[in-house]
Chain A
């Protein structure tokens, strides 16, 4: 019983980390903060893990290096929370209470319905079971890393020591999503298979819808005409509702983005479909709305994180950043060619992970 309680406590802390790390972006809505925090954690892991796997260092070494980096990011996040303007005084607290009440009054009924549908989808992930043989590779890889302390050097199908990156396992050298899962498992003490099948899916699904909500927020912005402020909260709610319903009814075959989103979101390629594609779209929309270094940084970490999940992530992330990013740069140059030209190196930096990991991926296969 104590063991289970400890797992729950550790799990809560570990899965709440992105919320703290996301504060580095000084972002406000909770969903967006969590999403950006998680993207940062994934991208840092990708940068550290690929050379570690390639150089065949032990899993423990990678685990401790990454734990150190996560601690540093968490401390930075806490500093940002403390430095954020207006630490709550008693008066502020009353104001906050009033603000919360106002927020509840402003809550769109469409958003509430959308949240119910999303909750239904999360419940299916929690109580339902979907058997998929694709898991046989990467969950076994995570298990082997935890037990044998070696990364991707065992045949995941049998547990036989091979000592090199064989066949399909070679794909995971540049997309070590299985090793991230192993880290989560070691932090929390929960088996990788339970994290993958039961704990992580609702969180990933929630993040996916956070990305879509942010897309909606970018598309439907409150308008200010004179003194009158036109709220677009209903439009944002309808947008999220439509996304949730489309996902639920985009069935009938096994190939769609929604099938991967709602049936096996724990797999690398499914995270790309469900979460990374909308995240990159979200980042490019934010760049076009507000051409700031933070938004470019968000695109960079999205592109890097996209490479973590699968070879398809490397390819898809690269194509998306190339097309959307190039379009954003052209628009920026059209607006002001002097500042616009400075966006080219930022675009190059954003697309660099896809190119670097992509070349490595192709060479290893």
Chain B
């Protein structure tokens, strides 16, 4: 009952219509001439069904935990509005009708709160453009579209949300803070957000160049470092910056925005060999699916990586996803001992960048890698290992702190929380230090048909601090082997 009353009091705050509702229903039951059984009784029935502690949990679940929206079904507006006309039906005098109508309007005004005042005053803003979006967004979007057909931008968070409402041509490095809703693990965006706030423009520059983003748009809320960025436009409503410097990675894309070639360069523009011994990769796609990856030397020729293979081919044979590794001569390499992690961003010393989850992160997860674990059958084992280092971690005062690995199957953790919780589970702030994590999982019948598996970390009541990881390796079998670079 408490939950029901809580939501009624929430939705009923600022006005008396919910309190008036049962009395109005009673008045209608007495006075309404014609539709008593068509309107009053079903309204009463609906109220009993919805405002009922016995059904609360059911409605809460059915309404995707928004019981307050289910409350809209209770016909409060129609019932309250029906009271005065139901009484005036008995009166012939137009003056008496007018007096009663005025009384009804007066009671409504006194018993309620003017709605436009109650929404934080935001609605009264006079519109500055026909799209009803922030003027800086409209102006900068128009300028960007004059300059490029499909600009890729990084905009300050307050603006970034609105660009893609204005036009679909613009791509933003991050949009609304919908992490977890859209479920794509864009830790880059989160990092960028943090770094931009901290003023780490060198890193922002690097990521933008790597991912092919051309402009930073700001209304001067960001103090953009001009050694990393040059000012392109200086307008009244906004400024436009462009990253400068040599890209660490040069990418080519297909029409679906999928990377077809990726070459690595050092600060002098010379080819940069990766840990696995290659300087570029070439990729083939079938729609959204990666079907092959070839590793190249600085001259653009196929090369064997340090772990012995030159080409990876992903196929689907009779509904089963498979992955095969081949050397430069076309010979197949056994997959045991190979690191199945894909696209893991690591620094030169082997560590990832520091993750700073932010204050009061509650029951939320950052996924840092997604793999397909191809060729699996029920009962297959996979081993996962990595090191994790914490720096200055604290929990929210008065709340129970929790940090643990979080696995997901097809984007749903409840579909198979595979790497957790035994891999790492900290129930109090661990302070500083490095921990070694090792875990073996077995593929269940349910997980056989999954298309992807993610690994990440979950935070409950995280207050401050950061962490980073090193040497992540997921391999087939139960025996962990020495770290090798990912695919």
What are 18 residue pairs bridging A and B, where the CB atoms are less than 8 Å apart in the complex?
A130-B125, A131-B132, A133-B161, A137-B176, A159-B172, A161-B258, A166-B184, A168-B182, A243-B78, A246-B77, A246-B112, A249-B112, A258-B77, A263-B115, A263-B116, A277-B75, A319-B50, A323-B49
Q: B1-15 toward A: CB 8 Å interface, digit per residue (1/0)?
A: 000000000111111
Considering residues B14, B71, B128, which has the most beta carbons from chain A within 10 angstroms of its beta carbon?
B14
Asked, given contacts A219-B82, A238-B88, whether A249 binds B15 with beta carbons under 8 Å apart, the answer is yes
On whether the beta carbons of B116 and A262 are closer than 8 Å, the reply is: yes
- Chain A residues whose CB sits within 8 angstroms of the CB of B72 once the complex forms: 257, 272-273, 277, 316
Tell me which of B62, B71, B131 contacts A315 (CB under 8 A). Answer: B62
Known: A124-B123, A158-B171. 6 other contacts (CB 8 A): A143-B167, A160-B184, A163-B288, A197-B132, A235-B88, A319-B49
Asked, given contacts A167-B183, A277-B72, A277-B73, whether A252 binds B118 with beta carbons under 8 Å apart, the answer is yes
Considering residues A156, A194, A246, A315, which has the most beta carbons from chain B within 10 angstroms of its beta carbon?
A246
Q: Which residue of A lies closest to B77 (CB)?
A: A246
On whether the beta carbons of B64 and A251 are closer than 8 Å, the reply is: no
Query: Which stretch (A14-22, A28-36, A283-291) binds chain B?
Result: A283-291
Q: Is B174 an interface residue (CB 8 A)?
A: yes
Q: Is B134 an interface residue (CB 8 A)?
A: yes
- Chain B residues whose CB sits within 8 angstroms of the CB of A263 once the complex forms: 115-116, 119, 123
Closest Cβ of chain B to A118, distance in Å, is 13
Closest Cβ of chain B to A292, distance in Å, is 15
Q: Is B35 an interface residue (CB 8 A)?
A: yes
Which A108-154 residues sit within 8 Å CB-CB of chain B?
109-110, 124, 127-131, 133, 135-137, 139-140, 143-144, 146-148
Q: Is B178 an interface residue (CB 8 A)?
A: yes
Q: Is B368 an interface residue (CB 8 A)?
A: no
- Distance of A112 Cα from B173 Cα, bound (Å): 51
- Distance of A110 Cα from B88 Cα, bound (Å): 12
Considering residues A197, A216, A311, which has the most beta carbons from chain B within 10 angstroms of its beta carbon?
A197
On whether the beta carbons of B125 and A319 are closer than 8 Å, the reply is: no
- Distance of A243 Cα from B79 Cα, bound (Å): 10
On whether the beta carbons of A312 and B115 are closer than 8 Å, the reply is: no
Q: Which residues of B line the A interface, CB within 8 A? A: 10-15, 17, 32-35, 37-39, 41-42, 45-46, 49-50, 62-64, 66, 68-73, 75-78, 80-86, 88-89, 94, 97-98, 100-101, 104-105, 108-109, 111-119, 122-128, 130-134, 161-162, 164-176, 178, 180-184, 186, 189, 256-258, 287-288, 411
On whether the beta carbons of A327 and B45 are closer than 8 Å, the reply is: yes
Closest Cβ of chain B to A117, distance in Å, is 10
Q: How many A-B residue pairs have CB under 8 A?
A: 308
Tell me which of B13, B35, B169 contacts A285 (CB under 8 A). Answer: B35
- Chain B residues whose CB sits within 8 angstroms of the CB of A130 once the complex forms: 119, 122-123, 125, 132
- Distance of A238 Cα from B103 Cα, bound (Å): 11
- Distance of A300 Cα from B105 Cα, bound (Å): 35
On whether the beta carbons of A239 and B182 are closer than 8 Å, the reply is: no
Which A308-348 residues sit within 8 Å CB-CB of chain B?
311-312, 315-316, 319-320, 323-324, 327, 331
- Distance of A315 Cα from B70 Cα, bound (Å): 8
Tell me which of A133, A136, A219, A259 contacts B119 (CB under 8 A). Answer: A259
Q: A250-274 toward B: CB 8 Å interface, digit per residue (1/0)?
A: 1111111111001100000100110
Q: Is A236 an interface residue (CB 8 A)?
A: yes
On whether the beta carbons of B123 and A249 are closer than 8 Å, the reply is: no
On whether the beta carbons of A157 and B172 are closer than 8 Å, the reply is: yes
On whether the beta carbons of B127 and A129 are closer than 8 Å, the reply is: yes
On whether the beta carbons of B97 and A161 are closer than 8 Å, the reply is: no
- Distance of A88 Cα from B72 Cα, bound (Å): 44
- Distance of A221 Cα from B70 Cα, bound (Å): 30
Considering residues A139, A194, A252, A327, which has the most beta carbons from chain B within 10 angstroms of its beta carbon?
A252
- Distance of A139 Cα from B168 Cα, bound (Å): 9
- Chain A residues whose CB sits within 8 angstroms of the CB of B122 once the complex forms: 130-131
Closest Cβ of chain A to B121, distance in Å, is 11
On whether the beta carbons of B176 and A198 are closer than 8 Å, the reply is: no
For chain A, give the interface size range.
35 or more
Considering residues B70, B86, B89, B114, which has the most beta carbons from chain A within 10 angstroms of its beta carbon?
B89
- Distance of A175 Cα from B309 Cα, bound (Å): 47
Q: Is A299 an interface residue (CB 8 A)?
A: no
On whether the beta carbons of B101 and A110 are closer than 8 Å, the reply is: yes
- Distance of A47 Cα from B211 Cα, bound (Å): 40
On whether the beta carbons of B112 and A250 are closer than 8 Å, the reply is: yes
Q: Which residue of B lies closest to A144 (CB)?
A: B168
Tell me which of B73, B76, B162 contacts A136 (CB under 8 A). Answer: B162
On whether the beta carbons of A251 and B181 are closer than 8 Å, the reply is: no
On whether the beta carbons of A197 and B131 are closer than 8 Å, the reply is: yes
On whether the beta carbons of B104 and A238 are closer than 8 Å, the reply is: yes
- Distance of A127 Cα from B129 Cα, bound (Å): 9
- Distance of A365 Cα from B80 Cα, bound (Å): 37
- Distance of A262 Cα from B77 Cα, bound (Å): 14
On whether the beta carbons of A158 and B175 are closer than 8 Å, the reply is: yes
Q: Is A53 an interface residue (CB 8 A)?
A: no
Tell me which of A124, A146, A232, A259 contacts B89 (CB under 8 A). Answer: A232
On whether the beta carbons of B41 and A249 are closer than 8 Å, the reply is: no
Q: Is A164 an interface residue (CB 8 A)?
A: yes
Q: Is A278 an interface residue (CB 8 A)?
A: yes
